[in-house]
Structure 1
């Protein structure tokens, strides 16, 4: 495993660990999710640049598009939650509450 592969894998794992351990606020969860998506984007960009096939060149742009959609949806959910409950804690998003 080269140093770049190790760096991208560790960035992805650190983002997932941050997502699982720091689940109090929605903003911190969104930042950890953005970190994992950024590491996936950089890894797929490096991977597609090493190959010359035209089918692999669309993969980084597709991941970047999904990441932008995820960020917009997450921020709109955070604004709606902050307006409704007054804070952005994740326990407010439990659908099983009465």
Structure 2
């Protein structure tokens, strides 16, 4: 089980590091990494019979991160017309 979780986590990190063109693919890989971290936290807390309060805090932060990412994506699409990173100038943003 731990091998499967580590392969999934590192594949999410690899996609996040290698994909630099679209913001949507980057956001999806970040959400995938957060879900894997959620699974790791649940397994760890379940193994040692701890409370799942920290999992709720992690889910709250991941929802806030997802909402912030989607709002940035919508504002970029409305202002520029697409979500390609290569057409943006850092001086304009």
**Superposition deviation, residue 6 in structure 1:** 1.1
Cα separation, 2, equivalents of 1:77 and 1:61: 24
1:97 Cα deviation from its structure 2 partner: 5.3
When the two structures are superposed, what TM-score results if normalisation uses the length of structure 1? 0.84
Instruction: Output aligned runs, 1:75-90, within 5 Å.
Output: 75-90=70-85
| Distance 1:61-1:25 versus aligned 2 partners, 3 A rule | same
Superposed structure 1 runs of 4+ greater than 6 Å apart? none
Partner of 2:59: 64
- Which structure exhibits the higher relative contact order, with contacts defined as CA atoms closer than 8 Å and separated by 6 or more residues? 2
Q: How many residues matched?
A: 93
**Aligned position for 2:35:** 38
Q: 1:58 to 1:6 in 2, by over 3 A?
A: same
- Calculate the TM-score normalised by the size of structure 2: 0.88
Structure 2 gaps of 5+ residues are: none
CA RMSD of aligned residues (A): 1.8
CA gap 1:73/1:40 in 2 versus in 1, 3 angstroms: same
Structure 1 alignment gaps of length 5 or more: none
